[in-house]
A and B are shown apart, each in its own frame.
Chain A
Amino acid sequence: MTLRNRLKARLGFNRVVSSVFTGIVTFFSLLMVVPLVLILSFITIKGVTQLHWALFVSDERGGGILNAIVGSGEMVLIAVVLAVPVAVLTGVYLAEARNSKIAEVMRITVDVFQGIPSIVLGIIAYVWLVVPLRSFSGLSGAVALAIMMIPIIIKNTEESLILVPAQMKEAAYGLGAPFHKVILQIVLPAAMSGVLTGILLATARILGETAPLLFTSFGGPDLNYNLTRPMEALPPLIFKYAQSPRDDWVATAWASSFVLVVVVLFLNLLTKLVLRRWKH
């Protein structure tokens, strides 16, 4: 048989293997959705029934989570404000200084950073802030969360900036534009969807963190807006209430879990929306 005929004869077999392969790929993708759907529906069923208005407006022990919502909100906000400028600018540096030795070392550092367990970051924030200030505080919690966000945002920023075509930069430099104008007016806007995605993903990530807050914001039963004092947050609150022997406190833990999941999902959907908006 000539080779070309062998090739033709092979097509039928290839087609079968190809459909089997497509089937396997599809099957595992669907399979991976199953636990997600199960977890979400479980939390929704358990949590939705426990929702009530007092939950959101009171800090009554076991029955209201206003203190945790305020604490999470403030600490995450401060963490974003602290992390974003540092991380985005570092990302710019890594993307622009592609071949420098320093950037190479920094890239490795950032990777290692990302792998540090969050509880260790909590201890670091404890040593840096809680010990010198002699008090647990929302601020130290925010710093621990910010440290967690930084490597995620750096990576995302760097990767989306690299994708900006070099021709675009050359066009700007070709008009005599200085470095800061090229970065701020051409490169960053072109990569904005990727940078924003990184920020939103990092925010969603720290919203659910418990460990970095254990030795930093510590938690407290009462509503508190003051960042220099101990603060409650949603994840540690769930951690405490879920272990409680009282059924109504456990119910509050479920309700809080549901609230937390909804907020995180919302941020993820927002990320998708931002990506789509910027593309068109």
Chain B
Amino acid sequence: MEALAAEKPILDVRSLNVVYGETPALKEINISFARNSLHSIIGPSGCGKSTFVRCFNRMHELQGEAKVTGQILLDGDDILTDDPFSVRLRIGMVFQRPNPFPSLSIADNVLSGFLINGIRPKKDEADAIVETALRKASLWDEVKDKLKKRSMFLSGGQQQRLCIARALAVEPEVLLLDEPTSALDPISTGSIEELMLELKKSVTIVLVTHNLSQAGRVSDYAAFFLLGELIEYGSGSTFFINPKDSRTDAYLAGRFG
């Protein structure tokens, strides 16, 4: 881990603790994420993966059930004490099930990060944002002729890429992906994986996944969580081939979880 800390991380998590009522969900998490790379978070159900990424864009306070303590530094700013609205602009999120806004057109869905905040871009600006974001999300060629149509008729995979485009349109520094392919078929999953490999060149991605082979294919770094604790974190190549901790080894080998 020393080697990773040497470069200046974009995200630095320091003694992060999350408690649901009386039950601890995350215990003393210390981890830092390098810029413009893909970090996958793996572990069995209930290990705290989703709880962990939801800390980054302050989703917990919407439910009001979890108590979050510690620090998460995004380029030095503590996002747990910052204004949640500006944090969410800097850290985008894509959820497990594709959730485009059903009443908006494809173009307006991409622009919704602006529209929903009361910014209405001019026609040429809007066109540029829509095209750039959809190209980044590899969806442009499929939808360029139907930008004014509702997003409902898109396939699940297309909808998920639309959600990624929506998140990218406001140019976040970090993109959180919470099991983005778990509701998708293998072909859509494949296209989203290719997309992640392309995106990580310009944005830091934190990916929660249940799919170990997916994590192996796309990760630069991987972290293994178990029962609310961070067991192991390392670069993808060594993590998946030669894990240090016997519990990580057992999980990767499919002996539990």
Return the contact of A8 from the options B89, B118, B125, B129 (Cβ within 8 A).
Answer: B89
Tell me, yes or no, whether A4 is within 8 Å of chain B by CB.
Answer: yes
Q: Are B170 and A7 in contact (CB under 8 A)?
A: yes
Measured in the bound complex, the distance between the Cα atoms of B82 and A8 in whole Å is 14
Residues of A within 8 A of B170 (CB): 4, 7
Tell me which residues across on chain A come within 8 A of B86, comparing CB atoms: 8, 11
Q: Decide yes or no: A15 and B85 within 8 Å by CB, A3-B125, A4-B171, A7-B114 being known contacts.
A: yes
A39 to chain B, nearest CB (A): 32
A10, CB-defined interface residue at 8 Å: yes
Q: Does B63 contact A (CB under 8 A)?
A: no
Q: A4-B171, A7-B89, A7-B170 are in contact. Are A14 and B83 (CB under 8 A)?
A: no
Chain A's nearest CB lies how many Å from the CB of B225?
28
A246 on the interface (CB 8 Å rule)?
no
Does the CB pair A3–B89 fall under 8 Å?
no
In the bound assembly, the distance between CA atoms of A13 and B85 in angstroms comes to: 12
Any chain B CB within 8 A of the CB of A6? yes
Interface size on A, residues (CB 8 A): 10
8 Å CB interface, A15-74 against B: 15
Chain B 100-139 interface 0/1 with A at a Cβ cutoff of 8 Å (1 = within)? 0000000000000110011101000100010000000000
Highest count of chain B CB atoms <10 Å: which of A7, A10, A11, A14 = A7
A10/B129 in contact, CB under 8 A: no
| Complex contacts, B125 vs chain A, CB 8 Å | 3
A10 touching B117, Cβ below 8 Å:
yes
CA distance A251 to B118 in the complex (A): 59
Which one of A3, A11, A15 contacts B114 once the chains associate, using CB atoms below 8 Å?
A3
Q: Which residues of A contact B119 (CB under 8 A)?
A: 3, 6-7, 10
Complex contacts, A6 vs chain B, CB 8 Å:
119
- Within the complex, what minimum Cβ distance (angstroms) separates A126 from chain B? 50
Q: How far is the CB of B111 from chain A (nearest CB, A)?
A: 10
> With contacts A3-B125, A3-B129, A8-B86 known, is A14 near B117, CB below 8 A?
yes
Known: A3-B114, A3-B121, A4-B170. A11 touches B83 (CB 8 A): yes
Query: What is the CA–CA distance of A4 and B171 in the complex, to the nearest angstrom?
Result: 8
**Cα distance A15–B83 in the bound complex, in angstroms:** 9
CA distance A188 to B96 in the complex (A): 31
A132 → chain B closest CB, angstroms: 56
The answer to whether A11 and B171 touch across the interface, beta carbons within 8 angstroms, is: no
Residues of A close to B113: CB separation below 8 A: 7
For B171, what are the chain A residues with a Cβ–Cβ distance below 8 Å?
4
Complex contacts, B89 vs chain A, CB 8 Å: 7-8, 11
Question: Measured between alpha carbons, how far is A15 from B129 in the docked complex, in Å?
Answer: 25
CA distance A6 to B114 in the complex (A): 9
Query: Given A3-B125, A3-B129 in contact, is the A10-B118 Cβ separation under 8 Å?
Result: yes
Q: How far is the CB of A270 from chain B (nearest CB, A)?
A: 26
Is the pair B121, A14 in contact by a Cβ cutoff of 8 Å?
A: no
**When chains A and B are docked, how far (Å) is the Cα of A8 from the Cα of B170?**
10
Q: Mark A97-116, 1 if CB is under 8 A from B, else 0.
A: 00000000000000000000
Q: Please measure, in the bound complex, the distance between the C-alpha atom of A13 and the C-alpha atom of B129, giving whole angstroms.
A: 23
Find chain B residues with CB under 8 A from A13 CB.
118
Q: How far is the CB of B120 from chain A (nearest CB, A)?
A: 10
Which residues of B lie under 8 Å from residue A4 when comparing CB positions? 170-171
A11 to B87, CA, bound (A): 11
A76 to chain B, nearest CB (A): 40
Q: Chain B nearest CB: distance from A145 CB in Å?
A: 41
Interface centre among A4, A11, A13, by most chain B C-beta atoms within 10 angstroms, is: A4
Decide: B85 and A7 in contact? CB cutoff 8 A.
Answer: no
**Alpha-carbon distance A4/B129, docked complex (angstroms):** 11
Q: Which residues of chain B are within 8 angstroms of A8 by Cβ–Cβ distance?
A: 86, 89
The 6 closest A-B pairs by CB, nearest first: A11-B85, A4-B171, A11-B86, A7-B119, A6-B119, A10-B117
Q: List 21 A-B contacts (CB under 8 A).
A: A3-B114, A3-B119, A3-B121, A3-B125, A3-B129, A4-B170, A7-B89, A7-B113, A7-B114, A7-B119, A7-B170, A8-B86, A8-B89, A10-B118, A11-B85, A11-B86, A11-B89, A11-B117, A14-B85, A14-B117, A15-B83
Q: 10 other contacts beyond A14-B118, A15-B83, with CB at 8 A cut-off? A: A3-B114, A3-B125, A4-B171, A7-B113, A7-B119, A8-B89, A10-B117, A11-B83, A11-B86, A15-B85
Interface residues of A (CB under 8 A from B): 3-4, 6-8, 10-11, 13-15
